[in-house]
Amino acid sequence: MTSNIRRCLVVGSGSIALRHIGNLRKLLPQAEVGCVSSSGRSLAAGDTPATTHLASFEEALAWKPDLAIVASPAPLHLDHAVALLETGIAVLIEKPLSDSLSRHEGFATRLAPWRDRIEVAYNLRYLSSCRKMQTLLAEEVVGRIHSIHIDLGQYLPDWRPQSDYRRNVSANRALGGGVLLELSHEFDYLTHLFGRFDKVFCITGHSGELEIDVEDRADILLTRADGVVAQLHLDFLQRKATRRCKVIGQRGNLQWDLIGNTITLETAAMQETLFAEPEADRNAMYLELLRGFIELSQGRATPRIRYEDGLAVLGMIDAMRRSSETGQTVELLLS
């Protein structure tokens, strides 16, 4: 793609950071791609596909990148993002926006002037089957919606079998782990496709099977005034990976398999596949996310996944935590 970008910075060196570095090099082959570890450790040439490794975040700021991707652990997202934004650098913040609403509140005033320079990396919106779901819902294929049922689970040790899962972000409270934060893509696509909800009841659990200090499962019920109900189950425990969304409507059901990248319509009389791209390149959604962000960084576009969208998800997670702690239904506040 055509651009005058000379330098791109990625903060963090984990798996998602490595993906972003590789994709920046594909989309902007003429640009230098710099990487700095969020933990402060030194990076060698073989650690990442970046062309430049920077010794500290302060050195990364002084390097003066034209855009930056913040892929550090969630508790550090806003520290890094604000420092970059206040030097005029557009920022793509990996999901979630932060690890808590209270932490965000400490940055809200400083973030406010830069909202149009922030994109949040909820890339599932660019999955081809997600876009098809949006079209089918707009066409009211199943009529009025009664309820939505989301089931997402995968055995945490299988996520990245080459490393000790207990040391990864997902497994550590101090790094922003746990199913509510780590699996927050589902909250974003839920509100993106179906709109906001008014109230939430949530039960989180810690099975003790994984030797981690965060919740490894959550069951969530969301309601709103028009009668639509959403039920979500999230876990780190299912031995066979599952990622599905079932929409129960007036004229039938839509079964969306996010792993298989298929959508099926079910009625009493028939079952029909409406969409199937099982062999689609999963990296395509990350590339689409980056293309939009590059346009944003050059002042040629506005955010597609806005700061406010990331904040809304963070507000949902905060309400879920409060519900789980108190055993009460909690109202969701609109951001």
Tell me: the pLDDT tens digits for 125-169? 999 999 999 999 999 999 999 999 999 999 998 977 777 767 787
Q: Classify domain 125-280+315-331 at the CATH superfamily level.
A: Dihydrodipicolinate Reductase; domain 2 (3.30.360.10)
The CATH 3.30.360.10 portion of the chain extends over 125-280+315-331
Instruction: Kindly give, in sequence order, each residue whose CB lies less than 8 Å from that of residue 260, ignoring residues fewer than 6 positions away.
Output: 276, 278
Answer yes or no: are the C-beta atoms of 34 and 60 closer than 8 Å: yes
What confidence score (pLDDT) does residue 170 get? 76
Altogether, the residues listed in the chain come to a count of 335
- Token pair, residue 30, equals 């003429």
Alpha-carbon gap, residue 195 to 173, rounded angstroms: 29
The pLDDT assigned to 39 comes to 79
Please list the pLDDT of the chain residue by residue as tens digits (335 residues): 657 899 999 999 999 999 999 999 999 999 999 999 987 777 767 778 899 999 999 999 999 999 999 999 999 999 999 999 999 999 999 999 999 999 999 999 999 999 999 999 999 999 999 999 999 999 999 999 999 999 999 999 897 777 776 778 777 888 888 999 999 999 999 999 999 999 999 999 999 898 898 999 999 999 999 999 999 999 999 999 999 999 999 999 999 999 999 999 999 999 999 999 999 999 999 999 999 999 999 999 999 999 999 999 999 999 999 999 999 999 998 65
Domain 7-121 has CATH 3.40.50.720: yes
pLDDT tens for 61-81 read 999 999 999 999 999 999 999
- The boundaries of every CATH 3.40.50.720 domain in the chain are 7-121
